[in-house]
Amino acid sequence: MNAPQGVTNSLTGTNDAMRGIITAASNGEFVTTPDAGDELIQIFQELEY
């Protein structure tokens, strides 16, 4: 597998996982505190770079 394909597969997997998290939260399958939510936002923002 070449590097660009690996990156694409990784991003696709991450996107799919995030959609699953969003769906679970929307369905009330889990809840989080505001502090924990802020921590998750910070982690995801750091992953963007």
- d(CA 9, CA 3) in angstroms, rounded, equals 10
pLDDT of residue 34: 92
Rg of the chain over CA atoms, in angstroms?
14
Count of domains observed in the chain: 1
In this structure, are residues 17 and 25 in contact, taking their beta carbons and an 8 Å threshold?
Answer: no
Q: What is the mean pLDDT of each run of 10 residues along the chain (49 residues)?
A: 73 86 90 88 81
Range of the domain at 18: 3-48
pTM assigned to the model: 0.53
- Give a three-class secondary structure readout of the chain: CCHHHHHHHHHHHHHHHHHHHHHHHHCCCCCCCHHHHHHHHHHHHHHHC
